[in-house]
Amino acid sequence: MEKTYPGIVEWLADQRPEVWHAIASQWNWDDYIEPLEWIAAQPESYTATVAVIFWVSTYGCDVWLHLGEDLDALNDSDPYVQAMFELIGRNAYNSVYKSGVISFRNADYIHIERAIESAFNEGKIDWKLSPHLIFSEGEPFSDAMLTDKEREEVEFALNGGFPD
């Protein structure tokens, strides 16, 4: 008999970090952010997963689109999102997350990584978090890392299969 879940966070708690990465990398930010907050709070999350959460957010995009500007002026105005970013920053800086399994590097995000790495190396930004959320070793994520069942469940979750 299949286990049923009252919501996506409860379902995530029973999944592997690869599934968390699939959810984080495809999550619609116009929906609620509780699943992303939960993923960001897990020490078993991959550095690449929380990097995706950060860099695809409006704030993360602002950082790499406005390199060299005052980052404090770019803070996300949503206190819940800001708190999640602060958690990600602390955990990444303190090497809480797992690295070396999945890489942040993939075709979708390589332009972001290159722009930030270049700006950081050229001294255009002096931001201690940058190297902790960019440089990750491991295999680029692909759906092939998921089982058929996991792919189906991720699709279900991303298409509103769980209540808010």
Taking the C-alpha atoms of residue 98 and residue 82, their distance in angstroms, rounded to an integer, is 22
One pLDDT digit (tens) per residue for the chain, 164 residues: 366 678 899 999 999 999 999 999 889 888 889 999 999 999 999 988 988 888 777 666 666 666 555 555 555 567 788 788 878 878 887 888 888 777 765 555 666 666 666 766 776 655 555 555 665 567 778 888 999 999 999 999 998 887 65
Cα–Cα distance measured from residue 115 to residue 163, given in angstroms and rounded to the nearest whole number:
38
Confidence (pLDDT) at 139? 79
**Residues 6 or more apart from 2 whose CB is under 8 A from it?**
none
